[in-house]
Structure 1
Amino acid sequence: MIKAVIFDLDGTLLDRDLSLESFIRDQYDRLDVLHFIDKDEYVARFIQLDNKGYMWKDIVYASLIEEYQIWNISADELLADYIENFKNHCIPFPHLTELLEHIISQKIKLGMITNGFSDFQLGNVESLGIRHYFEFIMVSELEGIRKPDVSIFKRALERLEIEACEAIYVGDHPVNDVMASRRVGMKGIWKCNRYDKADFEHDGIIYDLMDLKHYL
Structure 2
Amino acid sequence: MIKVVLFDLDGTLLNRQASLIQFINDQYERFKKYFSHISIDKYRTRFIELDDRGYVWKDQVYKQLIEEFDIKGVKFEDLLEDYIHNFQHFCEPFPNLFEMLHELKQKSYRLGLITNGKEQFQMDNVKVLGLESLFPIILISEKEGLSKPNPNLFHRALAFFEVLPEEAVYIGDHPENDYNGAKNAGMKVIWKKDTYWEDFFAEFMIDDLLEIPTIIEQF
Same structural fold, with TM-score higher than 0.5 when normalized by the shorter chain:
yes
1:194 positional shift: 1.6
CA change 1:111–1:138 in 2 (3 A) is same
Letter in structure 2 aligned against 1:123: D
Report the equivalent of 2:180: 179
Could you list the structure 1 runs, at least 4 aligned residues long, displaced by more than 2 angstroms after superposition: 197-200
Report the equivalent of 2:18: 18
1:22 positional shift: 0.3
Report the equivalent of 1:64: 65
Deviation sequence 1:88-115 (CA, Å, 0-9, x none):
0000000001011011000000000000
| 1:104 equivalent in alignment to 2:105 | yes
1:198 positional shift: 5.1
* 1:28–1:35 CA contact under 8 A, matched in 2: no
Of all paired residues, the percent bearing the same amino acid is 47
Letter in structure 1 aligned against 2:205: I
Task: Indicate the SS of the match to 2:113.
Answer: strand
Report the equivalent of 1:79: 80
| 1:94 equivalent in alignment to 2:84 | no
Task: Indicate the SS of the match to 1:182.
Answer: helix
CA distance in 2, matches of 1:159, 1:64: 42
Q: How many residues align structurally? A: 215
* 1:187–1:203 CA contact under 8 A, matched in 2: no
TM-score normalised to the size of structure 2?
0.96
* 2:175–2:200 CA contact under 8 A, matched in 1: no
1:72 positional shift: 0.5
Deviation sequence 1:120-166 (CA, Å, 0-9, x none):
00000011111111111100011010001111011110001111101
| 1:209 equivalent in alignment to 2:196 | no
**1:3-152 alignment runs, 5 A limit:** 3-31=3-31, 32-152=33-153
Choose 127-136 or 113-122, whichever is displaced more.
127-136
| 1:164 equivalent in alignment to 2:165 | yes
CA distance in 2, matches of 1:149, 1:26: 36
Letter in structure 2 aligned against 1:128: L
Task: Indicate the SS of the match to 1:195.
Answer: helix
